[in-house]
Amino acid sequence: MWTSLPSSSLRVTGQDRVDFVQGQMTGDLRGASVPGVVACAFLNVRGQIEHFARAYKRLGDIYLHLDAEQAAPLAARLRRYIIFDQVEVENTSETLRAVHVWDAATLPGWQVAGPDAQQFELAGTQVLAGRANRTGTPGVDLHYLATHETEVLAQLGQEVPLESLDAARIAAGIPDVVRDGFTGTLLQEIGLDSGGPLPAISYRKGCYVGQETMARLEARGHARYHLARLRGEHLPPHTEIRQGDRVVGQSGLHAGGASLARLRKEIAPGETVQVGGAAASVELLNTHA
């Protein structure tokens, strides 16, 4: 099974590319193998998430896979930080496509015991693939040229709509930063910490934008919010969560009768909250924050 991903992408080249991108992102790109893939966020100076990406480290470039319409603003941000760095940033969103293959073992050419990122030939064209758990089971994000889409998709079997993937990831407790509306939050609040369902940070990688806030949170040991799941019918997405007259969080996308949420930690499992007037029951996820 495969699902088309709403995507955009950047390609970063130049002799300083690794050091430059390393100084912007929360994950450890320098420590990744070649080829390798690193989940990461790009923060503002207050430590809040501006962009989430999967960074592919390759011999000649760094490929940044983002959600739809995220490439242009991230490219503008990166270019603002270029001073003497020998790097170039190219928006490749129009020429590349991406799908998620739910079961990695079914992807022709993918080596299950191989590295996390692999390049190989599929349907007569070179493709890039990287491990990505989007549904609770090991899967692969597959990237290919838009001009070869028909041939590539013919090798992948049954298409599954994005709504089904959202339902599976919410059931598995895996956030999607952009689709859940969690930009502007802290990594530790939405399951992106090192022990969370979508780890996207290294506390030992060196300096990057927003690092001071991340270091203070690591020293303090916790954030006030964490990632939880809400169970209810027709819960509105991207909406304030209230308990009584108090705002206690915000909801993500709703699918399969549930939503993920950024929720205050003192709200216990089984308690009821209100999401835009709809009642929801709180479920605790096995996350670290």
Note the pLDDT of residue 286.
64
Q: Minimum mean pLDDT among 26-40, 125-139, 211-225, 238-252: which range?
A: 211-225
Q: Please indicate whether residue 289 or residue 134 has the higher confidence score (pLDDT).
A: 134
Q: Is 138 part of a structural domain of the chain?
A: yes
Looking at the fold, whether 250 and 149 belong to one and the same domain comes out as no
Q: Is 28 part of a structural domain of the chain?
A: yes
Mean pLDDT of 257-286: 94
How many Cα atoms sit within 13 Å of 248 on the Cβ side? Answer: 21
Q: Which are the contacts of 194, defined by CB distance < 8 A and separation ≥ 6?
A: 201, 202, 203, 288
Q: Is 163 part of a structural domain of the chain?
A: yes
3 state DSSP class of 152: helix
**Backbone dihedral angles phi then psi of residue 243, each to the nearest 5 degrees:** -130, 110
Q: Is 143 part of a structural domain of the chain?
A: yes
Mean pLDDT of 23-51: 97
Q: Is 196 part of a structural domain of the chain?
A: no
Q: Which residues constitute the domain of residue 233? A: 224-289
Is the pLDDT confidence value at 41 over 70? Answer: yes
Mean pLDDT of the chain: 95
CATH code, domain with 130:
3.30.1360.120
Looking at the fold, whether 34 and 108 belong to one and the same domain comes out as yes
The Cα 34–Cα 70 span in angstroms is 25
* Number of domains making up the chain: 2
Is the pLDDT confidence value at 186 over 60? Answer: yes
CATH code, domain with 231:
2.40.30
Mean pLDDT of 75-103: 97
Looking at the fold, whether 153 and 241 belong to one and the same domain comes out as no
Q: Is 186 part of a structural domain of the chain?
A: no
Looking at the fold, whether 163 and 234 belong to one and the same domain comes out as no
**Backbone dihedral angles phi then psi of residue 246, each to the nearest 5 degrees:** -110, 135
Band of pLDDT at residue 288, cut at 50, 70 and 90:
very low
Please count the residues of the chain. 289
Q: Is 129 part of a structural domain of the chain?
A: yes
The Cα 184–Cα 287 span in angstroms is 20
Looking at the fold, whether 14 and 131 belong to one and the same domain comes out as yes
Looking at the fold, whether 115 and 257 belong to one and the same domain comes out as no
* Distance from the Cα of residue 286 to its chain's centroid: 18
Is the pLDDT confidence value at 226 over 50? Answer: yes
pLDDT for 187-198, tens place per residue?
999 999 998 999
Is the pLDDT confidence value at 287 over 70? Answer: no
State how beta strands 49-57 and 62-67 pair.
antiparallel
Looking at the fold, whether 61 and 144 belong to one and the same domain comes out as yes
Q: Is 123 part of a structural domain of the chain?
A: yes
Cβ of 220: how many Cβ atoms within 10 Å? 9
Residue environment code for 257-280, b if the CB has 16+ CB neighbours within 10 A, otherwise e? ebbbbbbbbebeeeeebbbeebeb
Q: Which are the contacts of 77, defined by CB distance < 8 A and separation ≥ 6?
A: 24, 42, 50, 51
Identify residue 273 by its one-letter amino acid code: V
Mean pLDDT of 107-130: 96
Last residue of a domain, one of 168, 191, 211: 168
Is the pLDDT confidence value at 72 over 90? Answer: yes
Looking at the fold, whether 159 and 240 belong to one and the same domain comes out as no
The Cα 232–Cα 111 span in angstroms is 40
Cβ of 244: how many Cβ atoms within 10 Å? 7
Note the pLDDT of residue 289.
35
Looking at the fold, whether 130 and 258 belong to one and the same domain comes out as no
Looking at the fold, whether 130 and 266 belong to one and the same domain comes out as no
Place of tokens 């390393």: 22
The pLDDT > 90 percentage for the chain reads 93
pTM beyond cutoff 0.85? yes
Is the pLDDT confidence value at 284 over 60? Answer: yes
The pLDDT > 70 percentage for the chain reads 99
